[in-house]
Amino acid sequence: MQGSVPLERYELTRIRDRLSFLYVEKATIARDRNALTIRTEEGTTYAPGAGLACIMVGPGTRITHQGMSLLGECGVSAIWVGEQGIRYYAHGRSLASSTRYLVRQAELVSNVRSRVAVARAMYAQRFPDEDVSTLSMQQLRGREGARVRRIYRDEAARTGVPWNRREFDFDDFDASDDINRALSASHVCLYGITHAVVAALGASPGLGFVHHGHERAFVYDIADLYKAELTIPIAFDVAAEAPPDIGSSVRFRVRDTVHRFRAIDKIVDDVTRLLFEPAEAEDALNSLGFDDNVVQLWDPNGLHAGGTNFEKEP
């Protein structure tokens, strides 16, 4: 709408206070003032633009120019996905205006010792009762593999859902059995939320410490921290109920559990703790949500203010 005034950055909701995700398919997304409108055959639904962390745009969905403009102004991570939210296609602008997290992430991932240290810290979060400080990456992967297999067996015993192994046809969602479809749908929701938080902090989704070479490697790193307590139990619970639409049922359950689990808060804190030393982490967290849209000029001897004429300098 031509008369809508763009939101100022100070008016935006901080990432940790936002709703987790909204999945939309077979609809038209537009704008009415500073609200998103989602129009389907059943009618029009309004959603708070500045209150969303992530919108997952599914098949059969169109977005108007003004709708996309509002998402950009509000820093909502728009992620284009395939049917059931499984296939990832692209993403839009994030909330970040600073490269503070990105610079630190690049520094850590570019050094073998610091990269291994961060990877160990990730595994230590999953093995709180074990000392992993001296384990190699190969040993850590072996521990994680055994842990995940044990979790699957325990969840199968708890819910009575038959379990053989994790298998999924990326090109055919319905080809898998119920539990594998439920796992895929729940993990995709977690990836979308994690991607939105990582992007909102200004970190790179692609610079992973455990995963490597994929545009969402860091997203997979962080999402793996929560699968055992969040998405895997949800998948087994939904599969045990055998609803007619597993994908939809899983998304509703993940949405509610993410709110109860305060997952966005946890992801913000964990990413910050992994990238920054304790003395720096608090400062990094306190800076989130403020306008630090400042361009500086790099120099080996220190940073310089942008927009300055240095013609007279030697």
* pLDDT digits 0-9 by tens, 223-244: 999 999 999 999 999 999 999 9
Q: Residues 15-29: what's their mean pLDDT?
A: 83
Quote the pLDDT of residue 82: 78
Give pLDDT, residue 298: 67
Considering only 41-50, 68-77, 213-222, 228-237, which range has the smallest mean pLDDT?
68-77
Lowest mean pLDDT among 64-73, 164-173, 204-213: 164-173
Provide the pLDDT for residue 170. 63
The residue that leads in pLDDT, 31 or 53, is 31
Distance CA 300, CA 132 (A): 37
Least confident range from 33-37, 144-148, 286-290: namely 286-290
Single pTM value for the model? 0.72
Q: Tell whether 224 is in a known binding site.
A: yes
* Kind of pairing between the strands at 304-305 and 19-24: unpaired
Q: Is the pLDDT of residue 131 over 60?
A: yes
Is residue 211 part of an annotated ligand binding site? yes
Is pLDDT above 80 for 160? yes
9-91 fold: Ribosomal Protein L15; Chain: K; domain 2 (3.100.10)
Give the DSSP letter string of the chain: -TTPPPPPGGGSPPGGGSEEEEEE-SSEEEEETTEEEEEETTEEEEEEGGGEEEEEE-TT-EE-HHHHHHHHHHT-EEEEE-GGG-SEEEE---S----HHHHHHHHHHTSHHHHHHHHHHHHHHH-TTS--TT--HHHHHHHHHHHHHHHHHHHHHHH----------TT-GGGS-HHHHHHHHHHHHHHHHHHHHHHHHT--TT--SSS-SSTTHHHHHHHTTTTTTTHHHHHHHHHHH--S-HHHHHHHHHHHHHHHHTHHHHHHHHHHHHHS-HHHHHHHHHHTTS-----EE--TT--EESS---TT--
| The two structure tokens encoding residue 184 | 């895929």
Residue 308 has pLDDT above 70, yes or no: no
Superfamily for the 100-275 domain = CRISPR-associated endonuclease Cas1, C-terminal domain (1.20.120.920)
Distance of CA 102 to CAs 8, 15, 141, 165, 280, Å? 23, 17, 26, 37, 15
Is the predicted pLDDT of residue 220 greater than 80, yes or no? yes
Average pLDDT over residues 252-274: 90
* pLDDT (average), residues 102-126: 94
β-sheet bridge partners, residue 280: none
For residue 13, is pLDDT > 70?
Answer: no
Report residue 1's pLDDT band, with 50, 70 and 90 as the boundaries.
very low
Task: Give whole-number Cα distances, 183 to 65, 166, 294, in Å.
Answer: 34, 9, 42
| Model confidence at 2: pLDDT above 50 | no
Q: Where are the domains of the chain?
A: 9-91, 100-275
Which range (164-178, 209-223, 234-248, 260-274) has the least confidence?
164-178
Distance separating alpha carbons of residues 121 and 110, to the nearest angstrom: 17
